[in-house]
Amino acid sequence: MIRKYLENKYQTHHGGEKYSLRDRLHTGCFACDDGHLFGLKLRCALKDGGERAVGRFKAADWMRSYAGCMHGGLVSTLLDSAMTQFLLLHGEEAVTGTLEVRFRHPADLEGMFEVVAWRGERRGRVHRMRSELRDGDGMVVAEARAQFVMSHQ
């Protein structure tokens, strides 16, 4: 019943056009649904022949942690979302099992960011994923490693 409601909500919001696994499963998602009122609205697309998922992101002042810096929890959410979207755009439904984030530099609230995700390897139901958040100059400000577990086999 809930899934039916969300599918109808999505079709109404997006004009009933064909939608992806990401859109069917993540309607209302804080990180990736462009219809979420307070969400991050990160939308990734496959690039390099499907080898990478790439999205662009503009930080806002409400995302502030320390003076002029984006909150680390939101940085982590962007990295996790890009990896999730990579899998969903490949038609694979999986959930985050582990997530390890390394913060290299402060994420300045004033710039545009690019989030890039790719699959390291797959072993059975487990995908080992990687992602990076890069600033407008291409500098890696944070990176993540994660293991995603397939929801269905």
pLDDT in tens, 85-120: 899 888 888 889 999 999 999 998 888 899 999 999
pLDDT tens by residue, 19-73: 455 555 555 554 555 654 565 556 788 999 999 999 998 887 877 788 888 888 8
Q: So where are the chain's domains?
A: 41-150
Q: Which residues make beta-bridge pairs with 117?
A: 53, 131
Q: What is the CATH number of domain 41-150?
A: 3.10.129.10
- Residue 118 Cα distances to 57, 94, 95, 125, angstroms: 17, 14, 15, 17
Joined together, the tokens standing for residue 54 give 């790439």
